[in-house]
């Protein structure tokens, strides 16, 4: 440990330990405050959300620049005493060499883990061809290994959220990604027990991340019983916050009423939490 705070190496070791057994929730903050609050609730790890951060900047998901995202990831890794996994989208490059360079920069932020997707920006061809997708995963793995290898690497295949819900192809890609060195596998958008159990079985004993969304009624215990190791929520927590904000703002704009203010968290409560749990940077 460095002082009273865990080092980057400590957090990376802790993150790997979490993936060895059991099932844990890795919620997705979108800024320093939400990250520290989730840590204060006792969560053992956090993950960034590309959509949550983009929307907080007034941008659509997918248009945040690599430099902006790296700065955001670095901030969350620095303010958190628990491991942070980076939602690093497609690695901000099509070609494997570009992915490798982006991964190198992401590792330097101090994250405990990162994920790389196989989706493109082309709606007509939303997934990279199999061979290119696999080469991109190998490039990311090599970049992590060159940096020391202690960052946990999650490989994602996006077919189920890119209108290509082919379970056989999803499993083919996940198995190949696993063989290429991914530490954790992730197929966002799978929903049914049959799909989840098939993915878990296909890549066992590697851990699987499951994306929880508003459409699901599954619990942590349900997913644990299916063999899921890690549960993330993507941008949903951020959208919960946006929903409350939008409903309140619309009530004021359209009705001239402030009823939505009832039951809000007192300012003093938030001040106390952040004063006690998050000693702020010295004033400049």
Judge whether 221 lies within some domain.
yes
- Whole-number pLDDT of residue 280: 52
Q: How far apart are CA 2 and CA 8, in angstroms?
A: 9
Judge whether 85 lies within some domain.
yes
Rounded to two decimals, what is the model's pTM? 0.95
Q: What is the pLDDT of residues 258-283, one digit of tens each?
A: 999 999 999 999 999 998 765 555 44
Judge whether 276 lies within some domain.
no
Per-residue CA distances from 14 to 6, 32, 151 (Å): 10, 21, 11
Per-residue CA distances from 105 to 55, 115, 178 (Å): 23, 13, 23
The model's confidence at residue 222, banded by pLDDT at 50, 70 and 90, is very high
Q: Are 126 and 91 in contact (CB under 8 A)?
A: no
Domain that holds residue 50: 8-235
* CATH number reported for the structural domain that contains residue 34 in this entry: 3.20.20.60
Q: How far apart are CA 12 and CA 152, in angstroms?
A: 8
Judge whether 183 lies within some domain.
yes
Q: Are 158 and 128 in contact (CB under 8 A)?
A: no
Judge whether 88 lies within some domain.
yes
Judge whether 260 lies within some domain.
no
Residue 246, token pair as written in the block: 């939008």
Q: What is the pLDDT of residues 35-51, one digit of tens each?
A: 999 999 999 999 999 99
Q: Are 69 and 30 in contact (CB under 8 A)?
A: no
Looking at the DSSP assignment, which residues form a beta bridge with residue 115?
87, 154
The mean pLDDT value for 187-210 works out to 97
Residue 284: is its pLDDT beyond 60? no
Q: How far apart are CA 132 and CA 124, in angstroms?
A: 17
Q: Are 144 and 107 in contact (CB under 8 A)?
A: yes
Judge whether 255 lies within some domain.
no
- Whole-number pLDDT of residue 215: 79
Closest listed residue to residue 44, CA positions, set 103, 112, 108: 112
- Whole-number pLDDT of residue 2: 41
Which H helix or E strand runs over 231?
strand 230-232
Q: Which residue has the tokens 């049914």?
A: 192
Q: How many domains is the chain built from?
A: 1
């Amino acid at each position: 440990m460095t002082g009273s705070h865990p080092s980057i190496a400590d957090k990376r070791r802790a993150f790997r330990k979490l993936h060895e057994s059991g099932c844990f929730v890795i919620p997705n903050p979108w800024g320093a405050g939400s990250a520290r609050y989730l840590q204060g609730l006792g969560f053992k790890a956090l993950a960034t959300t590309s959509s949550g951060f983009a929307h907080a900047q007034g941008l659509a998901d997918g248009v945040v620049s690599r430099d902006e995202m790296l700065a955001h990831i670095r901030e969350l890794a620095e303010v958190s005493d628990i491991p942070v996994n980076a939602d690093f989208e497609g690695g901000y490059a099509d070609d494997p060499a570009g992915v490798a360079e982006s991964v190198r920069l992401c590792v330097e932020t101090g994250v405990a883990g990162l994920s790389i997707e196989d989706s493109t920006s082309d709606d007509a061809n939303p997934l990279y061809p199999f061979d290119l997708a696999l080469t991109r995963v190998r490039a990311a793995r090599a970049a992590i290994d060159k940096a020391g290898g202690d960052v946990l690497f999650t490989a994602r295949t996006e077919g189920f959220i890119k209108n290509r819900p082919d379970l056989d192809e999803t499993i083919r890609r996940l198995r190949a990604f696993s063989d290429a060195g991914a530490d954790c596998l992730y197929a966002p958008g799978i929903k049914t027990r049959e799909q989840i159990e098939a993915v878990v079985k296909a890549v066992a004993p590697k851990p699987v991340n499951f994306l929880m969304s508003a459409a699901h009624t599954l619990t942590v215990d349900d997913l644990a019983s299916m063999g899921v190791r890690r549960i993330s929520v993507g941008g949903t927590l951020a959208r919960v916050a946006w929903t409350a904000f939008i409903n309140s703002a619309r009530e004021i704009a359209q009705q001239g009423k402030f009823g939505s203010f009832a039951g809000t968290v007192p300012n003093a409560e938030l001040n106390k939490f952040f004063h006690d749990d998050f000693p702020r940077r010295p004033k400049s």
